[in-house]
Amino acid sequence: MIDLYTWTTPNGRKASIALEELQIPYTAHAVDISKDEQFKPEFLKISSNNRIPAIVDRENNFSLMESGAILLYLAEKAGKLLPQDRQKRFRVTEWLMWQMGGVGPMLGQVHHFVKYNSGKAPYAEERYLKEANRLYGVLDKRLADHEFVADEYSVADISIWPWISRFDWQTINLDQYPNVKRWYVAIAKRPAVQRGYDVPKKTNEIPMP
């Protein structure tokens, strides 16, 4: 049984989607970041970076922050969504790191400057939109000859997908990235993804292009 501390954001949804896909029993605890609940001392004990998501594995009382680490931990625990074969496992790790180091931080800046503070910093908007389009281009190229980023559906796809689900916030037209669109729609149809998307509460239907 896992305790999941989360909110309705891309990083939070990665963890709940993985838990649903892996069929690991869990209890979701809402940490409302719009009310600064991520700074509460009891949350800081398990997430010293004051960010969601974080988990506690009740089996061994092990706590973990950082969504990439959480995905790897859960996949390894369940023995699914992370291949045993060394090279295949590192292919998944490669794309997971690509998401953690690029997609998350860069698209996060697009949300900040383009969606929430439009007009305040034109250079930042230009820079992060350019980087967003570059990243969408990289993903599109990869998916042109791969069904999923690392061949088989894995935690790498689960890490990227919730960020792409905010394509409208990012002013991205998915028709310009047809392979990303095909991949996005296929994953959006998975029942576990639909359940995980609504954790810790339903905010909206999954955006469809």
Ligand X SMILES: N[C@@H](CCC(=O)N[C@@H](CS)C(=O)NCC(=O)O)C(=O)O
**CA–CA distance, 45 with 161 (Å, rounded to integer):** 29
Q: Which of 9, 154, 165, 170 binds ligand X (CB under 6 A)?
A: 9
Q: Output 11 or 149, the one with its CB closest to ligand X.
A: 11
When binding is defined by CB under 6 A, the residue of 30, 33, 121, 206 that contacts ligand X is 33
- Interface residue with ligand X among 3, 37, 66, 198 (CB under 6 A) is 66
80 in Cβ contact with 23 (< 8 Å): no
Report residue 190: phi and psi, to 5°. Answer: -75, 125
Burial (Cβ within 10 Å: 0-12, 13-18, ≥19) of residue 183 = buried
Closer residue to ligand X, CB minimum distance, 35 or 130: 35
154 touching ligand X, by CB under 6 A: no
* Residues that contact ligand X, how many (by CB under 6 A): 13
> Is 38 a residue that touches ligand X (CB under 6 A)?
yes
> Per CB under 6 A, does 11 bind ligand X?
yes
Q: Please, what is the angle between helix 86-98 and helix 155-164, to 10°?
A: 20
Q: How far apart are CA 10 and CA 205, in angstroms?
A: 14
71 forms part of the interface with ligand X (CB under 6 A): no
For the segment 79-138, give every residue that binds ligand X (CB under 6 A).
Answer: 104
Q: Which is nearer to ligand X, 15 or 172 (CB)?
A: 15
| Least Å from the CB of residue 97 to ligand X | 11
Stretch that binds ligand X, among 64-72, 110-118, 165-173, 184-192 (CB under 6 A): 64-72
CB 37 within 8 A of CB 51: no
Rounded to a whole number of angstroms, the minimum distance from the CB of residue 43 to ligand X is: 10
Alpha helix (H) residue ranges in 24-114? 41-44, 67-78, 86-98, 104-110
Identity of the residue, 11 or 16, whose beta carbon is nearer to ligand X in the bound complex? 11
Nearer to ligand X, 4 or 52 (CB): 52
- What CA–CA distances, in Å, run from 68 to 53, 116, 121, 158? 10, 26, 30, 10
DSSP 35: G
Binding site for ligand X (CB under 6 A): 9-11, 33, 38, 50-53, 66-68, 104
